[in-house]
Structure 1
Amino acid sequence: MSISATDVNKLRQMTGAGMMDCKKALTEANGDFETAIDILRKKGQKVSASRSDKEAKEGSVFVKTNDKGNEGIIVALNCETDFVAKNEEFQKLGSMILEVADKNKPASIDELLSLKSGNLSIQEHITDLVGKIGEKVEVSSYERVTGDQVVPYIHGGAKLGVLVALKGVAGGNFTEVGKDVAMQIAAMKPIALDKGDVDPSVVQREIEIGKEQARAEGKAEAMLEKIALGKLNKFYKDNTLLNQEFVKDNSKTISQMLDSVQKGLTVSAFRRISVN
């Protein structure tokens, strides 16, 4: 059957797909719009599958806190090119995923992808966008944090995001100091909150490395353990948030800086995610 330009344009407005794709879908569907939409969605699924081996190292990080400011959500939506990351539809999709996550509080990315917005699941919305743009799109990270006060931070053109959960606020508002801590996390990349939060396997690896370094320097075997533990303390100072030197005032650690702002103020949790 003959497909009019008006019908093609109407389907394009409904779906955002290309003109030729819309014409082919309508022709295959004998002019039925619902069937044509399904055909386009199936095309998207095929595109998604065909690009599953591509690297999606661009994208945007989206963050949101609730009205009380005691819970935050952070989502990283990846794509293949920075051009697509700046696309309005891509940004709308990221914001929509964030809203769905905030409303439903899923426990994992898989659970998030199964949630619905309108008649489609998040994964189906992603698949539809893949069909339109021809690039791999995926949710690479999703985290939720709670605390007395949760402070969000976006860095580097939305390529990196941080959530900081503060404890001991005692009814005060510590947004600015929370942002200082978030900026520290963005720049210094701590691997854990405090010494006791470092994975035991990492601790053991650092001890063994310290011993080997000391042995290579010709230190006595009886001294290796002590030297390695000294190096481990340096590792904690460099890599655990509360023990890091505060970038804005290196005479204090993060823990000391927070306590100087208000007695007992500290960080109970943080999340740092990026799209590359």
Structure 2
Amino acid sequence: MSISAADVKKLRDMTGAGMMDCKKALSEADGDFDRAVEILRKKGQKVSEKRSDREANQGLILSRINDDKTKASLLEINCETDFVARNQEFQDDAESFLNAAFENDIDNADDLLKIELDGLTIEKHLEEMVGKIGEKIEINNVILATTEGTLISYIHPGNQLGVLAEFDGDLTDEEIGKDVAMQVAAMKPLSVTRDGVDSSLVEKELEIAKEQLLNEGKPEHIAEQAAKGKLRRFYEERVLLEQKFVKDNSVSVQQYLEQNDAPLVKSFHRLQLGEND
């Protein structure tokens, strides 16, 4: 049957798909718009599968936090190009996915894909975005944080890096919390305290330090002691509360918090595009 230009335009306006794709879908569906939309979705799924080996290292990190700072969500949505990430429609869709995660207390990407939004699962929404945009698009990370203390959210300009920091009590000055969240963003600590560092990593660092000292000709017993000194420096670089505070290197993060009568950090989450797959 003959497909009019007006019908093609109507389907394109409904779906955002390309003109030729819309014309082919309408022809295949004998002019039935619902069937044509279904055909486009199926084509979107095929596009997604074809692009499964493509790198999706661009995108957005977004956060939402409630008014009393006791619940927050952090979401990473990925695409292939920065051009798409800066598109307003992509950003609006990402925001709606974040809100769905927050409102449904979702703490992982797989569960978020099953949530319905405007009559479709988020997984189907992603398929439609792939068909429309022509890039691999996926939600890689969803984090839910709750606390009896205080949560602080920090999104670095450009939305490629985000942090949620949990403080063990009431934090009256949010700027202090932002400072610490920015510290996490910039300095990439492994954990809040030494106890949180993986023991195998500690053993490896100790072994490397000792081997270096032995290679320098140090006796075994001296190498053992000096390696422990190097391990202390490792903790100062990789443990948040022991790190030098970026805004004032004369104090550690813990000393900065104590000087300002602020509660200590209890936990943190850090998401950076392409680093948390």
Give the TM-score normalised by structure 1: 0.96
Aligned-residue sequence identity (percent) comes to: 49
Q: Check the 8 A contact 2:107/2:142 in 1, yes or no.
A: no
Matching residue's letter, 1:152: S
1:152 pairs with 2:150: no
- In structure 2, the residue corresponding to 1:273 is in which secondary structure? strand
Shift of 1:173: 2.4
- Which residue of structure 1 lines up, in the alignment, with residue 200 of structure 2? 201
Q: What are the within-5 Å matches in structure 2 for residues 128-139 of structure 1?
A: 128-139=128-139
Q: Check the 8 A contact 1:64/1:98 in 2, yes or no.
A: yes
- In structure 1, the residue corresponding to 2:218 is in which secondary structure? coil
- Which residue of structure 2 lines up, in the alignment, with residue 23 of structure 1? 23
Q: Check the 8 A contact 2:108/2:141 in 1, yes or no.
A: no
- Which residue of structure 1 lines up, in the alignment, with residue 169 of structure 2? 168
- Which residue of structure 1 lines up, in the alignment, with residue 4 of structure 2? 4
Matching residue's letter, 2:102: D
- Which residue of structure 2 lines up, in the alignment, with residue 189 of structure 1? 188
Q: Check the 8 A contact 1:242/1:255 in 2, yes or no.
A: yes
Counterparts of 2:152 and 2:172 in 1: how far apart (Å)? 10
Counterparts of 1:195 and 1:111 in 2: how far apart (Å)? 32
Matching residue's letter, 1:267: V
- In structure 2, the residue corresponding to 1:236 is in which secondary structure? helix
Q: Check the 8 A contact 1:145/1:270 in 2, yes or no.
A: no
Q: Check the 8 A contact 1:246/1:253 in 2, yes or no.
A: yes
Counterparts of 1:164 and 1:63 in 2: how far apart (Å)? 12
- In structure 1, the residue corresponding to 2:53 is in which secondary structure? coil
Q: Check the 8 A contact 1:16/1:132 in 2, yes or no.
A: yes
Counterparts of 2:174 and 2:183 in 1: how far apart (Å)? 14
- Which residue of structure 1 lines up, in the alignment, with residue 93 of structure 2? 93
Aligned structure 1 segments of 4 or more residues deviating by more than 3 angstroms = none
- In structure 2, the residue corresponding to 1:59 is in which secondary structure? strand
- In structure 1, the residue corresponding to 2:56 is in which secondary structure? coil
- Which residue of structure 1 lines up, in the alignment, with residue 265 of structure 2? 267
Residue ranges of structure 2 left out of the alignment (5+ in a row): none
Counterparts of 1:103 and 1:185 in 2: how far apart (Å)? 26
Shift of 1:146: 2.3
Counterparts of 2:184 and 2:146 in 1: how far apart (Å)? 17
Aligned length: 273
Q: Check the 8 A contact 2:162/2:272 in 1, yes or no.
A: yes
Give the TM-score normalised by structure 2: 0.95
Q: Check the 8 A contact 1:140/1:275 in 2, yes or no.
A: no
- In structure 2, the residue corresponding to 1:107 is in which secondary structure? coil
Counterparts of 1:209 and 1:4 in 2: how far apart (Å)? 72
Change (3 A) 1:116 1:126: same
- Which residue of structure 2 lines up, in the alignment, with residue 238 of structure 1? 237
- In structure 2, the residue corresponding to 1:152 is in which secondary structure? strand
Deviations, residues 43-66 of structure 1 (Å, cap 9, x unaligned)? 110000000001111111111101
